Structure 1
Amino acid sequence: IKAIFVREGDFVTAGQVVAQMDTDVLQAQIREAEARLRQAEVDIAVARSRLKQRESEKTAAEALVAQRQAELTAARKRSMRTTALVTEGAASQQEADDDRARMQSYQAAVSAARAQVAASEAAIVTARSEVLGAQSAAEGARATIEKIQADLTDSDLKAPRDGRVQYLVAQPGEVVGAGGRVLNMVDLSDVYMTFFLPTLQAGRLAMGSEVRLVLDAAPQYVIPAHVSYLADVAQFTPKTVETASEREKLMFRVKAQIPADLLRKYIVHVKTGLPGIAYVRVNQQLPWPAHLQLQKLP
């Protein structure tokens, strides 16, 4: 942990940076990844240049094949004419042999040119593989950079919602493992009071029923709430109670939830753990007594 920016009891808002982790190692890693990316981009440029060179060599080799093929065609025709003239006695045998040798030379030249084309095609395949390899290296470096940048973003610990810092779990300079806790926050948008009712009263209560809360710390204010939870089993009682009189003594846990809009309005004043009294009406037709009537809060 590099720094903690809040203290116990501070109110924080959603998105507020509450602590920062040390990022020296991550900064070194991202510099290394950026260097790999730059090298990969250079390799891509070199590989593409080499590919263009190989493609040019292939084009030149194909042109040479065409040239040698034309020369071979001309030499073949000349050899055929000379052979015919030898038969007629219009040319010497030496001339026919020379033309035949020249034709064979051009045949060899055509074969050599075609071999050069094949070599150029193989070189192009290799050059394309080099381009793909360099591009893959660049993509890998970019992915590494994105991952490290995400880790750097996560190194700033932000409050997930509005709330109050209850206590610090760790201190600056301490090492926290993955998933470790740095501080404890209380979600002030989800505040309720837990109380207990006997069997008879709990059975008459419905989910969503109105509740009035009076806190010991502020007895002059009546806080509206509603029933958000009714336990389906008795609390702190034997699992099996045989007699009706004993069953009437069972206590059921109830939660009275304070409206979220009211909490948002007074959120900086909201505290947890305060004791108080919860009032419910088992008969919803009866009005609230005067001292539990809602008044405008300051």
Structure 2
Amino acid sequence: INLNRVSAMRARNAISQKELDNARSSDRSARAELRSAQEQLDMLLSGYREEEVLAQRAAVDAAAAALELAEIRLRDALLTAPQDGIVLTRAREAGAIVQAGQTVYTLSLVDPVWLRVYVDEPQLGRIKPGMAVRVRVDAVPDKEFTGRVGFISPAAEFTPKSVETMEVRTSLVYRLRVQVDDPDNVMRQGMPVTVTLVEP
């Protein structure tokens, strides 16, 4: 309507050629917008094509996979101890960047309590896994704890300096691991103990 009106005015020489050109340009722009709007309306009325639906489903699946990966990384960033224990050392400060497998904390487990015991070769033949033992500590001399032999090392080693034995310190010994019952939480890391075998 506007183009027709402007064209009539130009025919009577009432307006300039530039104004007619502007009106024609506006008419072409409006017709292009109309075609675009009509195409969008036709798409909405006819519904989405199958390939478009499949593409959107793939995008949703990709977003779900990205969310799952982010949740896994968040869980991996949370440090949890496998068992209850006491922190002995903190090797890394909060906010430090660490690689997989690097030590962040050193824990002393409180349940179960394991003792590292050394025996010389002549006594090794008397010891079997599951054998009962009695344990005494200097902190509570009148109390006796019960325990059982767990692991027996298959290889000999030199007696550690921290072990007090009747024999020469450089003699070969075998390492045992003894699980002990400590309901009163008396034993501490590095505490010396005396272990006596309970003969069957």
TM-score, normalising length: structure 1: 0.43
Distance of aligned partners of 1:52 and 1:218 in 2 relative to their CA distance in 1, 3 Å threshold: farther
1:93-138 deviation digits (Å, cap 9, x = unpaired): xxxxxxxxxxxxxxxxxxxxxxxxxxxxxxx8xx111110111011
Name the residue aligned to 1:188: 110
Structure-2 residue corresponding to 1:279? 196
- Is 1:228 aligned to residue 150 of structure 2? yes
Amino acid at match of 2:104: V
Higher helix fraction: Structure 1 or Structure 2? 1
C-alpha separation in 2, matches of 1:250 and 1:146 = 54
Supply the distance in 1 between the matched residues of 2:83 and 2:175 (Cα, whole angstroms).
28
Match of 2:38 in 1: none
- Which residue of the partner structure matches residue 6 of structure 2? none
Provide closer, same or farther for how the CA distance between residues 216 and 148 of structure 1 changes in structure 2, counting only shifts above 3 A: same
Partner Cα separation in structure 1 for residue 120 and residue 98 of structure 2: 46
What is the one-letter code of the residue matched to 1:271?
R
Paired residue secondary structure (2:174): strand
Matched-pair contact (CA < 8 Å) for 1:217–1:274 = no
Is residue 234–residue 253 contact of structure 1 (8 Å, CA) maintained in 2?
A: yes
CA distance in 2, matches of 1:200, 1:180: 40
Could you tell me how far apart the structure 1 residues matched to 2:96 and 2:45 are? 56
Match of 1:157 among 64, 71, 79: 79
* Inter-partner Cα distance in structure 2 for 1:226 and 1:254: 10
Distance 1:212 1:276 in 2: 10
Which residue in 2 is equivalent to 1:203? Answer: 125
Structure 1 unaligned spans of 5+: 1-48, 55-123, 238-248, 285-298
Q: Which has the larger radius of gyration?
A: 1
Distance 1:180 1:204, change over 3 A: closer
Matches within 5 A, 1:38-53: 50=43, 53=46
1:251 aligns to 2:179 (yes or no): no
* CA distance in 1: counterparts of 2:155 and 2:101, whole angstroms: 35
Q: Give the one of 37, 43, 53 matched to 1:131.
A: 53
Q: Aligned-pair RMSD on alpha carbons?
A: 2.9
Larger proportion of strand: 2
Task: Report the 3-state secondary structure (helix = DSSP H, G, I; strand = E; otherwise coil) of the residue aligned with 2:125.
Answer: helix
Distance in 2, matches of 1:167 and 1:252, equals 28
Deviation at 1:51, TM superposition (A): 7.8
Q: Is 1:170–1:183's contact at 8 Å kept on the other side of the alignment?
A: yes
Counterpart amino acid of residue 189 in structure 2: T
- Give the Cα separation in 2 of the matches to 1:225 and 1:231: 18
Where do residues 35-114 of structure 1 align in structure 2 (5 Å cutoff)? 50=43, 53=46
Q: Deviations over 1:200-227 (max 9, x none)?
A: 3221222222111111232222111111
Structure 1: how far apart are the matches of 2:45 and 2:106? Answer: 61
Structure 2: stretches of 5+ with no match in the other structure: 1-41, 160-170
Aligned residues with identical type, % of pairs: 27
Moved over 6 A (4+): none
Count of matched residue positions in the alignment of Structure 1 and Structure 2: 149
Amino acid corresponding to residue 53 of structure 1 in structure 2: S
Match of 2:52, SS state, is helix
In the alignment, residue 105 of structure 2 is paired with which amino acid?
L
Cα separation, partners in 2 of 1:224 and 1:186, compared to 1, 3 Å? same
Per-residue CA distance 1:49-104 (angstroms, 9 max, x = gap): 948606xxxxxxxxxxxxxxxxxxxxxxxxxxxxxxxxxxxxxxxxxxxxxxxxxx
Q: One-letter code of the match for 1:194?
A: R
